[in-house]
Structure 1
C-alpha cells in the first residue's frame, strides 16, 4: 500500500474512539468520554493520574493491535472529537452520589467494574447503572467501598456506635441522621463538628464517619490556607473533612457556609482572555477540633455539634481499623436499610429551622425509629446560639437592653441612636473601654445586627429595619408570650 493510500493516524484514532466510547458535554461545556456500557466518565482534556481518557484510549488502541500513535495524531483526533461532542445532548456527571430515574438515587462504590448501589423506594440493589441514567466522575479522592451486606437486621449501626465515643444517645442519632443525609444528592446537611476533650478520639471518629461514605482511603485533612484551594479540594470529592480546627477566619467561615448550602465559583480559564470556568459545589462537610473560638451566626445555623468523651479503654490503631474494615460492609448495609425506611416515612416539615431539609430528615428518622433526632437537633442549635452569644459582646448588650423592655413592646431608633444607646449600656457608669471589633458607625452596627437576627430571635428578641419619611430606622421588639392553651389554663 502506498503512502497516499494509508489512513491518517488521526482518523484511525477518531474512528476507534467513536466506536468504543460515548462522548457528551456537561452544562459548563466540558466534554467527557464514557466507555460503551460503563458508567464512569472521564474528561477528555484531563491529564490526571486517576486515569485520563487519553491514557485509556492509548491502551485500547495498543491492546487491539492498532499500534502506538504519536502525540500530534492523538491531539488532532481529540480536537475533532471534542468539536463533535459539543453538538451532543447535555448530561451531568456526579461524584459518589447521584439522582436516578423514578425517584431512585445512586451510590458509587468506586469499583473498577462500575457496580453501584441503587436506592429506590422499596429497597436497594447492587447494579451497574445505565450510562444514560448516571455518569460517575472519578478522582484521586474517590475511594473504593466494599459491597454492602444484605439482611443485616440493623446490627451494623450498633457495631459502628460501639467503636465511636459519642457522649450521648442524642449525639448518636444526629450522627446517623447526617450519614443518611450524605446519601442524598439533593439534601443540604449541616456540617458535623466533632468536639470534646483532648484524647476523646475526635479525629478517629471523624475518619470513621467519612470512611463509611468515601471508603477506607478517605481521610481528614488540614484546612487549606485560601479559598481557591479549599474549593478545589471540595470539588474533587464528596465529603470534605477538616481536622483539628482551632480558629475560623471570617473568609473560611463564609466559605464553609457556601459549601454546606451550595454556591458557584467562576474564574478565568487558563491560557485564555475571555473564557471562564464554572464550578458549582454543595458538599457534606465535617470538622473536628477542641474549640474554634467565636462562631459567626450564619455558620452556627449550619453546624451540627457532635460531642465525644474519652474512652475508658484504649486500643491500638491497627486493631481498631482492622475491626472497622471488617464491619464496614455490615455498617454500610444497615445504613442503606435505614435510609430506605427513613425516606419512606411520612413526617411534617419543620418550618422554623434554617436547614429545613435536614430537619425534615430528622423528623422522618423519628417517625421510622423513634430516636428523637429532631429534638436533639433543636437542642444542638440552642447550644450553638449560646456559643454565639457568649462570644459576641454586642449580642449580650442587645439582650441586656431587651430585658428592660416590656413584653410586647417595641422600640424604634436610627442606627446612630442605637449605637449610642448600646455603647452607653456596655460602657456603664465606669466608662469601661470598648472591646476590639465594637461597631464604630451606625452602618456597621446595622450590618452586625442583621447577622445576629436569627440568634437574637431564638432568644425572644426581634430586630427589624425599615424606612419612613424621616429616614431609616432599626426596631427592636420583645414579643409577648403566647397565651396558654385552653386545656393548660384548666390545670
Structure 2
C-alpha cells in the first residue's frame, strides 16, 4: 500500500477547502481565500491575530466532523491550493471602501455577518456584496460601524457639527466635503489639518470625524518614527489620523504627499533572494496640531486647514462620547444621504487647482446644498500659500524682486545669476548675512524654485525654465492680471 493511500489527509483537506472556499489571487500575486457566501477574504499565508485562513479551515474541518489534522497535511494541502489559485484570474481586495458595478461604491461596516452599504446613483442600501463585485480585506484597524439610520432628514450633519467646535461655517462645509470624499475609492482628498488654540478640542473633533468612517474602536496615533512604519500602518487601514503634530520633517512631509495622492511601495519579499512585494495605496489622511512650523509647498497643496475654537461649555468625556455613540447611526445615515445627492449633482470641474477631484466634489456639494465649499477651499489654499511664504525667506525675496518687474514683463538669467541677484537683494549689499538653508549653488536654487512654483504662481509670479544655444536659463514673469483665485473672489 502506497504512502498516499495510508494517509489521504491532504486530499481530504483539499476537497473540503475547494468545496467551502473560493480561492483567487490579486494583481501582486497574493492568494486569498473567501468563504462561500461571505465577502471577507483572508490571505492564505496570513498568521495575523485577526484570524488566518489556516485557522478557519481547521475549525471548519473539526466542526463538520472531518477530523483534526496535523500541520504537515495542512501545509501540503495549502501549498497545492495556492499553486492552483495562481492560475486563476486576478481580483482586487479592498479595505473599507470599494468600487462596485454600475457606478456604485461600497462601504464595509466591519460586521461579522458581512453586511455593507452599497451607495448607488439612486440611493443607498444595506446588503452583503456578491464576491464577484467586492472582496473585503480586514485587519486589526478595521473597526465595526453601526447600521446607518434611514430617513434622517439630514439631522445627523447638524448633530455632528454641534458636537465639534469648528470656528466658521466655511470650515464646517469643508469638513463635510472631506467626509464625502472619504467614501469615494477613486477620489484623492486633501488631508484635513485640525488646528486652533490649546483646549479647542482638536483631538476630540479628529476622533469624531475618524470614527464616522472607521468605527468607535479607531483612534488617533502619534506619527511613526520612520517611513516604513508609517506606510505599514497606512496600508492596513483606510483613514490614518495623526495627532498633535508639532514638527514636520522633510521626509514626513514627502511621505504624506505620497499617501494623499497615491504611491507604490516595493520591497524585497521575505524569505526570497530576488522576488519583490508590491503595495499600492492611496488613503485619506487626517492631522491635528497647533502649529507644525514651516509647511513645504507640495504638502500645502494637499492640506485642508480646519480651524476650531475653544468651547464655551465643557463636558465630560463619558457624557460626550455616550452622546456621540448614540447619534452615530444618524450621522452616518445623513452622510450617506448627502453623498448620494452630491454625486448626482452636476458641476464643472475647476481647472486651476491641483486637487481637481476634490475641487469638483466641492463644486458638486455647492450645487446640491449651496454651502459655498469651493470658495472656502480656494480661500483655505490661499491661507496656506501665505503660511508657506511666511516660512520661506527665498519665496519672500523672489516676490520682493518681482515687484520691480513691470506687469506682463519677464526677466531671464542663468540660475547662478539669479542666485547672485537674490542673495544681494536679501543681504542688502552684504549688510545682512544669508540665512541657514539659503541656496549655495545655482542648481540648488533652481530646484527650490521648482518646488515653490505653485506658491509663487498663486501670487502672480511665474517661474519657467528653458535652454538656448548658450545654456539653460530661469525666467521670471510677473503676470499682467490677477491670479484666477483672486479674480473669482474669496469669502
- TM-score band w.r.t. shorter chain: over 0.9
Shift of 1:429: 3.5
Question: 2:441 aligned with 1:441, yes or no?
Answer: yes
CA distance in 1 between counterparts of 2:149 and 2:447 reads 52
Aligned to 1:121: 121
TM-score (norm 2): 0.97
CA distance in 1 between counterparts of 2:435 and 2:118 reads 55
CA distance in 1 between counterparts of 2:341 and 2:299 reads 30
Aligned to 2:104: 104
Q: In structure 2, do the counterparts of structure 1 residues 218 and 482 end up closer, same or farther at CA, with 3 Å as the change threshold?
A: closer
CA distance in 2 between counterparts of 1:289 and 1:2 reads 69
TM-score (norm 1): 0.97
CA distance in 2 between counterparts of 1:50 and 1:307 reads 37
User: 1:28-427 to 2 correspondence within 5 Å?
Assistant: 28-427=28-427
CA distance in 1 between counterparts of 2:338 and 2:356 reads 20
SS at match of 1:230: helix
CA distance in 2 between counterparts of 1:333 and 1:14 reads 43
Aligned to 1:487: none
Shift of 1:4: 7.1
Aligned to 2:23: 23
Q: In structure 2, do the counterparts of structure 1 residues 2 and 432 end up closer, same or farther at CA, with 3 Å as the change threshold?
A: closer
CA distance in 2 between counterparts of 1:51 and 1:324 reads 30
Aligned to 1:472: 472
Q: In structure 2, do the counterparts of structure 1 residues 207 and 4 end up closer, same or farther at CA, with 3 Å as the change threshold?
A: closer
Q: Is the 8 A contact 2:188 2:261 kept in 1?
A: yes
Shift of 1:7: 5.1
SS at match of 1:306: strand
CA distance in 2 between counterparts of 1:355 and 1:437 reads 29
Q: Is the 8 A contact 2:105 2:118 kept in 1?
A: yes
CA distance in 2 between counterparts of 1:203 and 1:402 reads 41
CA distance in 2 between counterparts of 1:405 and 1:112 reads 66
RMSD over aligned CA atoms reads: 1.3
Aligned to 1:461: 461
CA distance in 1 between counterparts of 2:128 and 2:4 reads 45
CA distance in 1 between counterparts of 2:323 and 2:50 reads 29
Q: In structure 2, do the counterparts of structure 1 residues 4 and 396 end up closer, same or farther at CA, with 3 Å as the change threshold?
A: closer
Moved more, 9-18 or 40-49: 9-18
Q: Is the 8 A contact 2:40 2:114 kept in 1?
A: yes
CA distance in 2 between counterparts of 1:52 and 1:364 reads 42
Deviation string 1:180-207 (CA, Å, 9 cap, x unpaired) is 0000000000000000011100000000
CA distance in 2 between counterparts of 1:151 and 1:465 reads 57
* Number of residues of Structure 1 aligned to a counterpart in Structure 2: 483
Deviation string 1:249-269 (CA, Å, 9 cap, x unpaired) is 111100000000000000001
SS at match of 1:362: helix
Q: In structure 2, do the counterparts of structure 1 residues 374 and 482 end up closer, same or farther at CA, with 3 Å as the change threshold?
A: closer
Note the residue ranges of structure 2 that are not aligned, 5 or more in a row. Answer: 484-491
Shift of 1:271: 1.1
Shift of 1:10: 1.1
Shift of 1:430: 5.3
Q: Is the 8 A contact 2:424 2:430 kept in 1?
A: no
SS at match of 1:343: helix
Deviation string 1:434-490 (CA, Å, 9 cap, x unpaired) is 11100000000000000000000000000001000011000000011279xxxxxxx
Shift of 1:28: 0.1
CA distance in 1 between counterparts of 2:232 and 2:57 reads 27
CA distance in 1 between counterparts of 2:5 and 2:248 reads 67
SS at match of 1:118: strand
CA distance in 1 between counterparts of 2:315 and 2:368 reads 34
List, as ranges, runs of 4+ consecutive aligned residues in structure 1 with deviation greater than 6 Å: 1-4
Shift of 1:9: 1.1
